[in-house]
Structure 1
Amino acid sequence: MSVCLPTYVVIDASSSMKPHEAVLNATLSRLHYNLAMNPRVSEFARICVIAFSTDVHVVIPMSDMEQVPAMPEVICGGRTEYGKTFDRVRQCIEQDVHELRSQHLSVLRPTVFFLTDGGPTDAQWQNSFRTLVDRDWPRHPHVIAYGFGGAKRNVLEQVATKALFIADGSDTESALSSAISGLLNTLIASSQTGTMLIDTDVKGFEYVPVAQEYVD
């Protein structure tokens, strides 16, 4: 039975990202290209891309990227709503794991790559996050967070359950590109072993190990 890693690329598309919209879309297109051109990785790591701001949009539903012709364009604008984003990710995981299992795949614990350049604008987001990573929910995901721009380390320390990367002052566009490269390298390494291997050497970022992991 083939092993599959449900992977969620959850990316900030709020108004603070508007000046970087072109680079964001170019970076996502590069991610799509690299995955689509590497069948071993695209078969192992099924990808769902989610853009969040005031609303949450599933840009690409859970897919083998080799079967996706192109990355849709992301339009930036609005607030940075964490809570409804985590609610939507949980809904997607519930649906996607069921679908992947129906394809006779052996499904690993889902992994969320959370990329943001700002802090949450909603006050009660922690409730949604706790529901997402609740260990009593068998499908609770690992969360790897990348913070750059105006992202707050103390907030992302509450979000990351597997690893945290904080930009060391690099400009937003360079940090975004490096974060996607780190994400891609993690998926490539993981596909080779069939288990999660995190690329901790991400240019322009400080790697912060997460001491208190959630038990599988």
Structure 2
Amino acid sequence: MEQVLPFYVICDESYSMEDHIDALNDGLQKLHAAVGSDPVVADKTRFCIIGFSDDAEVLLELSDLSDVTSTKGLVVKGGTNYGAAFRLLRDTIDGDVANLKAEGCRVYRPAAFFLSDGQPNYDWRSDFARLTDPSWKSRPNIVAFGFGAVDESTIAEIGTFKSFIADNTIGPAEALHEFASALTKSIVQSGTSMTNAGDVTLKVPDQVPGFTELKADEI
């Protein structure tokens, strides 16, 4: 039975990303080249890109990156609607998991890498609660990255697995390349962690240059 660990990257396309979107697209292209050229990793992982601003859109359907020749780039648009991103992610995962299981795949809990540089302009917590509902078996492990004007508390709340905030030791463009590099490493290391017995561990770097990991607060 084929084993599949799905990865989703959810990227801010709001107007505040105008000076940074090219660096992010470049980083994602390098990720595509690295993962798509590794047959072992590409065979065991799938990758999806979702962009969001006032609304959200699937820019790359969940795919084996070795089969993808090109991807639709991120494009700067309007506001910052986290809720639209979380709604689309939930619905997309539901459909993807059902399709993979129908193909006879053994599917592991998805990983979702969320990136934003600004505070949301819309209510989002009800959609986030639906996405992270403990009763939903396919709820993703979320790794959240923030930079620019986003609040640390917001990013810490979204990252259910790990959260990182830019520490301004490097410029935004370099930080976005480091985000893409961390995502690439996570896909490669997680994909190669699968055993014949069916065990797999989501691997996320403990340290990402230009970012500080946020610790969860006790409540």
Deviation of 1:15 (Å): 0.5
Alignment correspondent of 1:92: 92
Residue 32 of structure 1 pairs with residue 38 of structure 2: no
Whole-angstrom distance in 2 between the partners of 1:44 and 1:209: 30
SS in 1 for 2:11: strand
Amino acid at match of 1:25: N
Residue 132 of structure 1 pairs with residue 131 of structure 2: yes
TM-score (norm 2): 0.92
Alignment correspondent of 2:140: 141
- Structure 1 regions of 5+ residues with no counterpart? none
Whole-angstrom distance in 2 between the partners of 1:204 and 1:19: 18
Does the aligned pair in 2 maintain the 1:162–1:210 contact within 8 Å? no
Percent of matched pairs sharing the same residue: 33
Q: Alpha carbon RMSD of aligned pairs, Å?
A: 1.3
Deviation of 1:21 (Å): 2.4
Deviations along 1:102-158, whole A, 9 cap, x unmatched? 121111111110011111111x20000000000011111110001112221111111
Q: How does 1:91-110 map to 2 (within 5 A)?
A: 91-110=91-110
Alignment correspondent of 1:164: 163
- Structure 2 regions of 5+ residues with no counterpart? 195-200
Residue 208 of structure 1 pairs with residue 214 of structure 2: yes
Does the aligned pair in 2 maintain the 1:47–1:63 contact within 8 Å? yes
The runs of at least 4 aligned residues of structure 1 exceeding 2 Å deviation read 208-212
Deviation of 1:10 (Å): 0.5
Does the aligned pair in 2 maintain the 1:162–1:209 contact within 8 Å? no
Amino acid at match of 2:10: V
Amino acid at match of 1:176: L
Whole-angstrom distance in 2 between the partners of 1:208 and 1:189: 22
Amino acid at match of 1:130: A
